[in-house]
């Protein structure tokens, strides 16, 4: 893990060449949620293969582009497309972009993902502000010799998601008149969707939604001292007693249709951040 520091610096240096402004926030856009990037006043953009040490995005409906610019007058970078454990990447590789965002000055990580809803009171197309998570990926991005320059050996996880921003997110949804839940996401490796028995198990251990990303990035963000705002977009309902085969095209369509809600939450949270006294 000790060579990680240099990898982060090399990648950050490449981005700084075209976009030297210190960042306020890094944004990760999940499956079908890339549209938000259009709202950024773009100053520079990179395909992932142009950034040293970045893996290449292979997942469906993920573009693989880092967009740098301003949103709500705050300097941000947004990842259109992310990396997943199921693509065969190590969790260290998956989370490298978060460390690069931190190195570029970001103190806030905004992370979004498409998930399956297990809480029966949720609906397909709803959004959930992430209150907490359960890591069932069987791995952890912090395994290895700890580099104390990056963060502590045993990071605390009592509140990985910023409580003020959770409240702010719920408030934005109320004001804009759409349903936003507050709940727990469980992360699994994938890539297969869960069996009915697995959904029952994951629901029983306390999760409201299930996804194949986000948790590694959040663990790393907490490790390096960033605040986190997480949004799950429920793209299909996974109710084990009435389970229908998942249709990836449909999931992406629902993500696209729900994307304006994500956009409202992200821009609203950034506007709140911009208005905060420094």
Residue 148 corresponds to which tokens in the numbers above?
Answer: 């104390």
Q: Per rule CB under 8 A, is residue 222 in the interface with another protein?
A: yes
Q: Per rule CB under 8 A, is residue 144 in the interface with another protein?
A: yes
In the bound complex, what is the minimum distance in angstroms from residue 247's beta carbon to another protein? 29
Binding another protein by CB under 8 A: which of 34, 116, 160, 230? 160
Q: Which is nearer to another protein, 20 or 206 (CB)?
A: 206
Q: Per rule CB under 8 A, is residue 145 in the interface with another protein?
A: yes
Binding another protein by CB under 8 A: which of 17, 156, 241, 249? 156
Q: Is 183 helix (H, G, I), strand (E, B) or coil?
A: strand
Q: How far apart are CA 50 and CA 107, in angstroms?
A: 24
Binding another protein by CB under 8 A: which of 43, 135, 248, 271? 135
Binding another protein by CB under 8 A: which of 42, 44, 134, 252? 134
In the bound complex, what is the minimum distance in angstroms from residue 127's beta carbon to another protein? 19
SS3 track for 55-69: CCCCCCCCCCEEEEE
Q: Per rule CB under 8 A, is residue 163 in the interface with another protein?
A: no
Please give the residues from 175 up to 204 whose contact with another protein meets the rule CB under 8 A. Answer: 184
Binding another protein by CB under 8 A: which of 175, 205, 247, 250? 205
Please give the backbone phi and psi of residue 237, each rounded to the nearest 5 degrees, phi first: -95, 135
Q: Which is nearer to another protein, 61 or 135 (CB)?
A: 135
Q: How far apart are CA 3 and CA 55, in angstroms?
A: 16
Q: Per rule CB under 8 A, is residue 241 in the interface with another protein?
A: no
**Bond preceding residue 191 cis, omega within 30 of 0:** yes
From the CA atom positions of the chain, what is the Rg in Å? Answer: 17
Q: How far apart are CA 153 and CA 141, in angstroms?
A: 12
Q: Per rule CB under 8 A, is residue 223 in the interface with another protein?
A: yes
Q: Which is nearer to another protein, 1 or 13 (CB)?
A: 1
Q: Which is nearer to another protein, 48 or 89 (CB)?
A: 89
Buried b (16+ CB within 10 A) or exposed e, 193-207: bbeeebbeebbeeeb
Binding another protein by CB under 8 A: which of 13, 159, 163, 253? 159
H helix intervals, 44-162: 91-103
Residue 143 corresponds to which tokens in the numbers above?
Answer: 């395994």
Q: Which stretch binds another protein (CB under 8 A): 42-50, 61-69, 107-115, 127-135?
A: 127-135
Residue spans of beta strands (DSSP E) within the chain: 25-29, 41-47, 65-71, 74-80, 108-117, 127-135, 180-187, 209-211, 227-237
Q: Per rule CB under 8 A, is residue 152 in the interface with another protein?
A: yes
Interface contacts to another protein, rule CB under 8 A: 1, 132-135, 138-140, 142-146, 152-160, 184, 205-207, 219, 222-223
């Amino acid at each position: 893990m000790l060579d990680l520091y240099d990898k982060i610096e090399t990648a950050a240096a490449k981005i700084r060449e075209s976009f030297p402004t210190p960042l306020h926030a890094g944004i990760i856009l999940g499956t079908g949620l890339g549209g938000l990037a259009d709202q950024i006043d773009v100053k520079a953009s990179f395909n992932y293969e142009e950034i040293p040490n970045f893996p290449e995005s292979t997942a469906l409906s993920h573009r693989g582009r880092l967009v740098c610019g301003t949103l709500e007058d705050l300097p941000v970078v947004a990842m259109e497309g992310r990396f997943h454990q199921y693509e065969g990447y190590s969790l260290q590789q998956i989370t490298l972009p978060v460390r690069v965002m931190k190195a570029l000055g970001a103190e806030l990580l905004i992370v979004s993902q498409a998930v399956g809803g297990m809480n029966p009171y949720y609906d397909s197309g709803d959004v959930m502000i992430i209150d907490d998570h359960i890591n069932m990926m069987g791995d952890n991005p912090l395994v290895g010799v700890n580099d104390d320059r990056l963060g502590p050996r045993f990071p605390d996880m009592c509140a990985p998601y910023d409580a003020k921003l959770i409240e702010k997110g719920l408030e934005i949804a109320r004001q804009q008149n759409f349903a936003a839940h507050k709940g727990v996401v469980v992360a699994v490796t994938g890539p297969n969707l869960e069996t009915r028995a697995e959904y029952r198990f994951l629901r029983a251990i306390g999760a409201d939604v299930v996804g194949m990303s986000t948790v590694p990035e959040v663990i790393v963000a907490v490790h390096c001292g960033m605040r986190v705002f997480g949004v799950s977009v429920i793209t299909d309902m996974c109710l084990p007693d009435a389970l229908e085969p998942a249709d990836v095209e449909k999931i992406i369509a629902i993500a696209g249709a729900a994307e304006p809600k994500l956009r409202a939450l992200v821009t609203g949270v950034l506007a709140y951040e911009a208005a905060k006294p420094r």
